[in-house]
C-alpha cells in the first residue's frame, strides 16, 4: 500500500476480528485476552533454545484458536497457562521447565525435581538418535555418545 499524500509505502496485516475474550485472573480481576502478551511469555521461555523464530507466535495462535473454539467469553488465566505449558512441553523441554517453574511457583525444589524426572522418563520413549546413548568399555568406563554416534566431550572442570 502507499500513502496518497507522502507516497510512503507500508505493509498492513489483516486479522479477523472476533468476539472479545476476557481473561479472569486468579485474584478475580478481568482483562482482555492479549495474544502478544502470551507470545512474549512463550518467547522468554524459548530464549537461546534451538527452535525456529516463529514457534512462539504459532503456539500463541494455536492457543488462542483453542480458547475461541470453546465458545466462551471468559477464560481462566490458569487454563491459558496450562495450554502454554502443553505447547512448550511438546516443543522444548527446557523451555517448558523454565515456563512451568515461574508459572507454578513451586514451594520447594522437590516439586521441580519430580517434573524434571517425569520429562527424563519421557526421553527414553523418543526416536533412537535423539537421545544420548551410553557406551560401556571393557574396563567399565562409561562414555556418553551423542546423537551422531560420536563421543561427547565431558565438561572441563575449572578451578
Q: Which tens digits make up the pLDDT trace of 93-138?
A: 999 999 998 888 888 888 888 888 888 888 765 555 444 444 444 4
Collapsed DSSP state (helix, strand, coil) of residue 134: strand
Task: Return phi, psi of residue 12, to 5°.
Answer: -120, 150
Q: Are strands 142-145 and 30-32 parallel, antiparallel or unpaired?
A: unpaired
pTM, 2 dp: 0.65
- Chain mean pLDDT for the chain: 81
Question: Sorting pLDDT into bands at 50, 70 and 90, what band is 2?
Answer: confident
**Whole-number pLDDT of residue 155:** 52
**pLDDT tops 90 at residue 3:** no
**pLDDT tops 60 at residue 9:** yes
- Asked whether the beta carbons of 13 and 36 are under 8 A apart, the reply is no
- Residues 122 and 115: their CA atoms lie apart, in Å, by 11
Question: Sorting pLDDT into bands at 50, 70 and 90, what band is 153?
Answer: low
**pLDDT tops 60 at residue 11:** yes
- Asked whether the beta carbons of 100 and 82 are under 8 A apart, the reply is no
- Asked whether the beta carbons of 136 and 126 are under 8 A apart, the reply is no
**Whole-number pLDDT of residue 128:** 52
Amino acid at each position: 500500500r502507499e500513502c496518497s499524500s507522502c507516497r510512503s509505502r507500508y505493509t498492513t496485516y489483516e486479522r479477523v476480528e472476533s468476539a472479545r475474550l476476557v481473561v479472569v485472573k486468579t485474584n478475580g480481576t478481568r482483562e482482555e485476552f492479549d495474544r502478544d502478551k502470551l507470545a512474549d511469555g512463550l518467547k522468554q521461555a524459548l530464549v537461546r533454545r534451538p527452535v525456529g523464530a516463529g514457534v512462539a507466535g504459532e503456539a500463541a495462535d494455536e492457543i488462542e484458536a483453542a480458547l475461541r473454539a470453546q465458545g466462551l467469553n471468559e477464560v481462566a488465566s490458569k487454563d491459558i497457562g496450562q495450554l502454554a505449558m502443553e505447547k512448550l512441553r511438546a516443543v522444548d523441554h527446557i523451555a517448558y521447565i523454565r515456563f512451568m517453574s515461574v508459572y507454578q511457583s513451586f514451594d520447594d525444589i522437590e516439586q521441580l525435581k519430580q517434573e524434571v524426572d517425569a520429562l527424563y522418563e519421557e526421553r527414553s520413549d523418543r526416536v533412537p538418535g535423539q537421545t544420548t546413548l551410553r557406551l560401556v568399555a571393557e574396563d567399565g568406563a562409561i562414555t556418553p555418545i551423542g546423537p551422531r554416534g560420536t563421543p561427547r566431550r565431558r565438561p572441563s572442570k575449572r578451578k
